[in-house]
Amino acid sequence: MKKTTAIFLVLILICGLTAGCGAKTDAGNASGKATSEGKSLRIGVCLFTKNDEWLADIADQFEKQCADKGYEVNIQDGNQENEKQVQQIENFIAKKYDAIVLSAADVEGILPAIDKCQEAGIPVIAIDTPIDHAWISTCISWDNYKSGQMLGEYAVKYIQENLADKNTVNLVMLDGTGYPHLEKRDEGFLDALKDIKNLDLVARQCTNGNRELSANVINNNIAKGIDIVYGVVDNHAWGAVTALQEAKAEKCAVLSCGGFGEEPFTALENDDPYYKAIIVVPPENIVEDSIAAVEKVLAGESVEPITNIDISLADHNNVKDFIK
């Protein structure tokens, strides 16, 4: 009897030891390091750039919210360089971080680095820019088409109230050509304006989040008379504002399709002569959902491929609602 019992126990032990062997690891259960075990998580954050108020606020929120939870966070500035981001991710892998949060400078160029994360079993959460890779657990973003549409609807109202007597309404688009999620914003904006028959698109160019390049586009077209400038990101919009200020241009509405922070909110509160509206994308919500996604994935819970946060439109009339 004792011999039979001993054999039975050995068989149970062998089954227990081999049960995990060959088990598939996927993006929804990448490491098995569940936060319920009380483990202090180590999160690597790789940002597209910190030379942008919105992304700088993202970095600040990661510092604050991770500190509140007792998590270690390492935030790296990619400086809009794919090679630099690849090196940062490889460093996170070498140091065995529990998870990586990434806003990619190049969604194609970063894929080999995501492959290495998969090999290491380290989950990756994308923010802002979706990345087409099976290992990405989720992308924390918002409805980009809707954001462009909301801004376009504001532009229509602005035209009706301020430019109704003009034969032609001149529009410059500092757009997101080459970035699929930004192109959705462009599409939504133009769809909202499709019934404005006297609209003339005098210039359209992607200036890659660079204020100086954005200002150059405005300078090159200002003699044509510009009524509205669409900036797909806030640096595009601010480059336009700088050029308009220096030229002492007549009335022109600069509209931004995404941003947050002191610079845009102060301009709207002061009723800036050029900067007129922004789609508000709260960094606090982006980071809160990013950390929640990390916790769920490490706990083996499923997450949706896209996690959309709520967005709003702010102008001079309601900006105080967004200032804390």
Is residue 318, in this structure, part of any structural domain at all? no
In a shared domain, residues 104 and 170:
no
Q: Which domain holds residue 251?
A: 144-280
Q: Higher model confidence: residue 32 or residue 110?
A: 110
What confidence score (pLDDT) does residue 42 get?
98
pTM of the model: 0.79
Lowest average pLDDT, out of 9-18, 133-142, 239-248, 270-279, goes to 9-18
Q: Higher model confidence: residue 252 or residue 129?
A: 252
Residue of 24, 46, 23 lying closest to 124 (CA atoms): 46
Is residue 4, in this structure, part of any structural domain at all? no
Mean pLDDT across 90-109: 97
What tens digit of pLDDT does each residue of 45-94 get?
A: 999 999 888 899 999 999 999 999 999 999 999 999 999 999 999 999 99
How many domains does the chain contain in total?
A: 2
> Rounded to an integer, what distance in angstroms lies between the CA atom of residue 262 and that of residue 54?
10
> Rounded to an integer, what distance in angstroms lies between the CA atom of residue 77 and that of residue 65?
18
Q: Residue 51: is it exposed, middle or buried by C-beta count within 10 angstroms (0-12/13-18/19+)?
A: middle
In a shared domain, residues 264 and 161:
yes
For residue 100, what is the domain's CATH number? 3.40.50.2300
Q: Residue 84: is it exposed, middle or buried by C-beta count within 10 angstroms (0-12/13-18/19+)?
A: middle
Q: What are phi and psi of 184, to 5 degrees?
A: -65, -40
Is residue 20, in this structure, part of any structural domain at all? no
